[in-house]
Each structure stands twice: as C-alpha cells, then as structure tokens.
Amino acid sequence: MEYIILIITAIFVNNIVLAQFLGICPFLGVSKKVDTAGWMGMAVLFVMLIATLVTYPIYYGILVPYNLKFMQTIVYILVIAALVQTVEIILKKTMPALYSALGVFLPLITTNCTILGVAINVINFEYNLGQSTVYAIATALGFTLAMVLFAGIREQTAITKTPKGMDGTPIALLTAGLLAMAFMGFSGVDKGLSAALGL
C-alpha cells in the first residue's frame, strides 16, 4: 500500500518536471514529437533506475562509514557519467536495436538533472533500497508522462499561428505552465489516499 502511494505521489502529485522543475532542458529540447519524447522518457527510466541502484550502495557502503558524506556531489556525478558511458558501450555491443533507439539521448542524460536529483533525493528522504527503486521508476514514469503529454500539445501548437514574439520557447513555456496548472489538480490526492487507506 505504501508503495502505491509512493508511486502516485511521484507520478502525479510531485511530478518531477511540472512540480519540482527538474529535467526542464530535455523537457523543452526533445519534446517536438511524441515518439522521440517517449523514447527519451524510456532512456531516462533506464539510466535513472541503474544510477539509483548503483549510487545507493556507494553512499551507505563507502561514503557514510568513511565519513565522506561531503564528497557526495563529486562522487555521484562521476559515477553517473561513467555509468552512462558504460551503458552506452554495452548497449552498442549487445543490443544494437535498443541502442539505435536510445543512443542519441544517452550522452544528453549525463547532464540531465533528474538523474542526479533522484539519486540525491532518495538519500535526503531516507528511503530504503526497495522504496528507492520504486521511487526511481515512478519518477521516470512521471517524467515520461509529462514529456509525452507536452509533445502532443506542442505538435498541435506548431501548426497554429502564434504572435511573433511568442514564437518558439515562450509559447512552449506557456503550454508547460497550463500543463502544470492541470497537474496541480492532483495536489492533496496523496494525503487523501493515505487517509482513506488508513495509513
């Protein structure tokens, strides 16, 4: 039950893009077509899950016992960068089909703040390994959902005439604002749900 609330909160209530403002760059950058947006979301899901599963034991196994917590940022960013490179090489050798679908996005993901953000968040929220895994998956699904919805709307606004100054980014930001407003409708759902389930 606790996991269901965690999932709903991460996908809808605290959506990583529309409520927490992480991963705005890919959100604005690769959201012109629905299928590219979907693949980007899948790539993020893949890397986020692996990154969380790798950085979690590093934090509790190495940084905490040796009192190196302040090195978190440096260690995490290096581990994530190395991880993305490794994943890229392995995919290229073993799964060429998947690589050609996700390949272009992988280098982009190293500097995607959602990955580092989630890896730091699971430590800040003091989740255990199971909760961290679920949280990483749900957050990435929330990211994918926001990306796909946004790309769908952008495909429509692309064929509409906009005022000159609003062309490009401003209209995209405005669309994102309205989408964020729609997602605000979910606020409180998590609390209501946990009250209804008696947690």
CB 145 within 8 A of CB 16: no
CB 173 within 8 A of CB 25: no
Binding span for another protein by CB under 8 A among 4-12, 40-48, 52-60, 116-124: 116-124
Of the candidate residues 9, 31, 121, 132, the single one contacting another protein (CB under 8 A): 121
How would you label 75-112 residue by residue, b for 16+ Cβ within 10 Å and e otherwise? bbeebbeebbeebbeebeeeeeeebebbeebbebbbeb
Query: Which positions from 32 to 71 touch another protein by CB under 8 A, shown as an x/- string?
Result: --------------------------------------xx
Which residues, numbered 78-107, are part of the site for another protein (CB under 8 A)? Answer: 78, 81
Question: What Cα–Cα distance (Å) separates residue 45 from each residue in 49, 50, 193?
Answer: 6, 9, 26
Query: Containing H/E element for 78?
Result: helix 72-94
SS3 31: coil
Question: What Cα–Cα distance (Å) separates residue 191 from each residue in 66, 179, 188, 196, 197?
Answer: 38, 22, 5, 9, 10
Nearer to another protein, 21 or 60 (CB): 21
Q: Is 182 exposed, middle or buried (0-12, 13-18, 19+ CB in 10 A)?
A: exposed
Query: Which positions from 141 to 180 touch another protein by CB under 8 A, shown as an x/- string?
Result: ----------------------xxxxx-xxxxxx-xxx-x
- End-to-end Cα distance, the chain: 9
Q: How far is the CB of 71 from another protein (least distance, A)?
A: 7
What letter does residue 199 receive in the DSSP assignment?
A: -
Q: How far is the CB of 171 from another protein (least distance, A)?
A: 7
Q: How far is the CB of 34 from another protein (least distance, A)?
A: 20
Of the candidate residues 6, 11, 13, 18, the single one contacting another protein (CB under 8 A): 18
Q: How far is the CB of 110 from another protein (least distance, A)?
A: 8
Q: How far is the CB of 184 from another protein (least distance, A)?
A: 7
List of residues contacting another protein (CB under 8 A): 18-25, 28, 70-74, 77-78, 81, 111-113, 116-117, 120-121, 124, 163-167, 169-174, 176-178, 180-181, 183-184
